Amino acid sequence: MDYTMHPIGVIRSPFTDRRETPIQPSRSKSVGRVEVFPEFAEGLHDLEGFSHLILLYVFHHSEEYSLMVKPFLDDRLRGLFATRHPSRPNPIGLSVVSLLRADGTVLEIEGVDVLDGTPLLDIKPYIPEFDIRANVRAGWYDQRSVQGG
């Protein structure tokens, strides 16, 4: 079964080189913009009341994937699906960013961790009751942190 997705906008950021892009939005204070295409403008109604957004996008410069990868914060090979590596069978990315301001079809955001011109697939509001989890484990990452890696 195939699915076709079409961007609803584009993410603008100060990053044009993958090597300079932060590895996660929680490690970025960079400001950027989400430019939503005019035909989706009505869908932005009521968004200004949220402090954070979940952005779903395409890793449009992603390379071929491997099922075993070396994560950015580790020196061992790990299973692709146990990482947030950008080269994936379906190059879909996810970032939680701060919404600084909404002005028409332009959203000013903080915590940008994508390349300039990244195609935006969807926007969802971050709602703590739905999105925060207690008693979580982070697999190999927890072990890496304990070992000081």
The boundaries of the domain holding residue 41 are 9-146
> Does residue 130 form part of some domain?
yes
Total of domains in the chain: 1
Q: Which pLDDT band, with edges at 50, 70 and 90, does 26 fall under?
A: low
pLDDT of residue 22: 63
Q: Give which of 110, 101, 123, 119 is closest to 49, Cα–Cα.
A: 101
Q: When comparing pLDDT for 108 and 83, which is higher? A: 108
pLDDT per residue as tens digits for the range 43-74: 999 999 999 999 999 988 888 899 999 887 78
Indicate the pTM of the whole model: 0.86
Q: When comparing pLDDT for 93 and 61, which is higher? A: 93
> Does residue 88 form part of some domain?
yes
CA 82 to chain centre: 16
For residue 94, give the CATH number of its domain. Answer: 2.40.30.70
Mean pLDDT of the chain: 89
CA dihedral 84, 113, 44, 130 (to 10 degrees): 40
Query: For residue 30, is pLDDT > 90?
Result: no
Q: Which pLDDT band, with edges at 50, 70 and 90, does 137 fall under?
A: confident
Name the residue type at position 54. I
> Does residue 3 form part of some domain?
no
> Does residue 34 form part of some domain?
yes
